[in-house]
Amino acid sequence: MTKLAQSKKIFELALLILAAGSIYPLVYLRQNFEAAILTVYDINQADLAGIYSMLGIMFVVGYIPSGWLADRFSVKLLIIFSLLVTASVGVVYAQAPGKEFLLPIFLVWGFATVFTFWSAILKSVHLLADANEEGRYFGALDGGRGLVEAVLASLAVAVFAIASGGGSDLAFENTKAGFQAVVYMYSGAIVLIAIALFFLMPNRSKSQDTAEEKSSTMDTLRAIGKILTIREVWVMIVIIFCGYTLFWAHYYFSGFLNVNHGVTQVAAGVVTVTVLWMRPIGGFGGGFLADRFGRSRVLSVSMVITAALLIALALVPSGTAMGVIFAMVVAAGLVMYVIRGVYWAILDECRIPPAVVGVAIGMISFFGYLPDIVIPKISETIYNAFGDDVAGANNMFFIVSACIGLVGALAAWYFTILMKRREAAEGRLTPSMVGDAL
């Protein structure tokens, strides 16, 4: 490949990263501006939690249809449509029309960020990357997305401070002004990125995407049946389910530091923000490691390391130096982002027919991201069982998460074995080399 062609691919990847990094922060604005949302809409945390619970259900329901759409429509147009709808609803969101409008707003966002976006963005990266680049490209997608989110969040904090006038005790009008400015900023950025994609991103398709393949998958049920026969797909589902479960543990870092080690909220916030900045490092670094040492092998090792760190955090004595605990938390976050940056890179090794890649992404996402529903239930059970012993519940949650992660590590190693056996069957390795690999 010429340098010019490679540069064009990198530029296109950068556009996809901007799209993925800009669309979700508006939907998850509560991460940095929850207090402002509660004030402007006059709701409480329980109300907001219920809305996000409905959003999570919308996501799960939308994964498979998103794959169907990605196989039948231009992924470029689907991404642009998603960005424009998300930004348009953001303008409505900024008006604070009343709490009764919140659920419809979030349901439309759920449609725009999953049904028409999720499989389209992943399929775009899959189509863009050559077989030996999948690790780097998917790692760059997750790492770059994290970098975009971090930059936009930093700008949003500054915008809020300027628009609201700053201060620790803001009046309603000041809070609303800051909230509106932040939402307008995110919406404006999304529109600009959509325009850039429209003019600069080419329509791309695999050469293998033949008319014969297309005609064999007109029936979505037939496409799903074809995918269900691929053993590697099921192994990949287990890997993503377990890897995503490990990632869920990072949501509990702040509470763990507060309750188990008496760390102030400010100090805990500094640590968790540091963890967020590990995403680009873990994403980009993990992608390069995956292409160099093997994607499933890197996944397996990363899951073992993350599980070990979570177990260590659960067992570490309360008198341990804070610097050691902080380092362990940040290290766990870093390896979690390596996992997130790599697990979609093994999609190419599943050898899914190009015409049904979108449906496959939807199916894998449906099962792989079930922790969004399962993990809160597990967490609720643990915390109810421990009652007032929140510190003990935190530790138990980390241990349970680590055990699930170890199952994922075994699945990733099994995926490595499957790849070695395939290579041997195709004549690229001798049986003795396979034995050495096992």
Token pair in block for residue 43: 């709701």
Q: Would you state the CATH architecture of domain 1-201?
A: Up-down Bundle (1.20)
pLDDT at 303: 97
Of 406, 385, 405, 407, which Cα lies nearest the Cα of 396? 385
Asked if the domains at 1-201 and 219-426 fall in one CATH topology, the answer is: yes
Question: What is the Cα–Cα distance from 159 to 285, expressed in whole angstroms?
Answer: 31
Question: What is the Cα–Cα distance from 112 to 89, expressed in whole angstroms?
Answer: 10
**219-426: CATH topology:** Growth Hormone; Chain: A; (1.20.1250)
In tens digits, the chain (438 residues) has pLDDT values of: 678 878 888 999 999 999 999 999 899 887 677 778 888 999 887 787 778 878 888 888 898 889 889 888 899 999 999 999 999 999 999 999 989 999 999 999 999 999 999 999 999 998 888 877 888 898 899 889 888 988 888 888 888 888 988 765 678 899 899 999 999 999 999 999 999 999 999 876 544 444 444 444 455 677 777 788 889 999 999 999 999 999 989 878 878 888 899 887 667 767 877 887 888 899 889 988 988 899 999 999 999 999 999 999 999 988 889 999 999 999 999 999 999 989 988 988 888 877 778 888 888 998 998 888 888 788 888 888 898 898 999 999 999 999 999 999 999 999 999 999 988 887 755 444 444 544
pLDDT at 384: 86
Question: What is the Cα–Cα distance from 282 to 336, expressed in whole angstroms?
Answer: 8
Domain spans, the chain = 1-201, 219-426
How far are the Cα atoms of 26, 179, 182, 192 from residue 176, in angstroms, in the given order? 16, 5, 10, 24
| Chain-centroid distance, C-alpha 10 | 21
pLDDT at 205: 54
CA atoms within 13 A on the CB side of 257: 25
pLDDT at 210: 41
Cβ atoms within 10 Å, residue 280: 22
Of 58, 66, 128, 59, which Cα lies nearest the Cα of 359? 66
pLDDT at 220: 64
What is the residue-wise DSSP string for 133-177?
A: GHHHHHHHHHHHHHHHHHHHHHHHHHHHHHHH---SS--HHHHHH
pLDDT at 168: 58
Tracing tokens 């976006």 back to the chain, one arrives at 117
User: What three-state secondary structure class fits 387?
Assistant: coil
User: What three-state secondary structure class fits 438?
Assistant: coil
The CA radius of gyration of the chain, in Å to the nearest whole number, is: 22
User: What three-state secondary structure class fits 42?
Assistant: coil
Q: CB–CB of 357/125 below 8 Å?
A: no
Q: Which residues contact 374 (CB under 8 A, 6 or more apart)?
A: 245
Question: What is the Cα–Cα distance from 95 to 98, expressed in whole angstroms?
Answer: 9
Question: What is the Cα–Cα distance from 296 to 349, expressed in whole angstroms?
Answer: 10
Question: What is the Cα–Cα distance from 46 to 50, expressed in whole angstroms?
Answer: 6
Q: CB–CB of 236/352 below 8 Å?
A: no
pLDDT at 219: 58
Q: CB–CB of 399/253 below 8 Å?
A: no
Q: CB–CB of 150/371 below 8 Å?
A: no
H helices of 201-346, in order, are 211-215, 220-228, 231-248, 253-261, 265-276, 278-293, 295-315, 322-342
